[in-house]
Amino acid sequence: MKINFKAALLSAFILPGIGQLYKGERVKGAILLVLVNIFMLLSLFIVFRKMGSFLVTARVSGVPEALALLDNLTKTSPEVGWLLTGFTLLWGFAVVDAARPIKEGSPLSD
């Protein structure tokens, strides 16, 4: 039981997929880590792309406010919402899966 709890904490607070690696599920952990990194890179790419165009506009109009940037980002980029939803679902799956009991026959099942 301790291993499941530690694995769930690792997936919840460090990075989704780390708990699976801790439990010995290497393939599942690696897949989750790759998916999480893809979500993060896509999100950063979209945010920086939108931020650059907003900062050019703000420099011209003279209104560089962080709240205006966030408002502009959420209104003009629905894909950010989809990425956030996907990342949240992936994170939730990783935590729940890490908390599941270890299958018999795995190295950590003792």
**pLDDT tens, position by position, 57-106:** 555 555 556 666 666 666 767 777 788 888 889 999 999 999 988 766 55
Q: Is 17 helix (H, G, I), strand (E, B) or coil?
A: coil
Domain membership of residue 109 (yes or no) is no
Instruction: Give the DSSP H or E segment for 88.
Output: helix 78-99
Q: Please state, in angstroms and rounded to a whole number, the distance separating the CA atoms of residues 36 and 59.
A: 34
Q: With respect to residue 79, please indicate whether it lies within any of the assigned structural domains.
A: yes
pLDDT value, residue 43: 82
CB 16 within 8 A of CB 90: yes
Q: pTM, whole model, 2 decimals?
A: 0.70
106 in any annotated domain: no
Q: Is residue 105 part of a domain?
A: no
Plot region of 59 (φ>0 → left; ψ -120 to 50 → alpha; else → beta): alpha
* Residue 108 resides in a domain: no
Does any domain span residue 84? yes
DSSP string, 19-84: HHHHHT-HHHHHHHHHHHHHHHHHHHHHHHHHHHHHHHHHHHHT---HHHHHHHHHHH-HHHHHHH
Residue, of 26 and 78, whose pLDDT is higher? 26
What is the residue range of 18's domain?
A: 2-99
Report how many domains make up the chain.
Answer: 1
Residue 27 inside a domain? The answer is yes
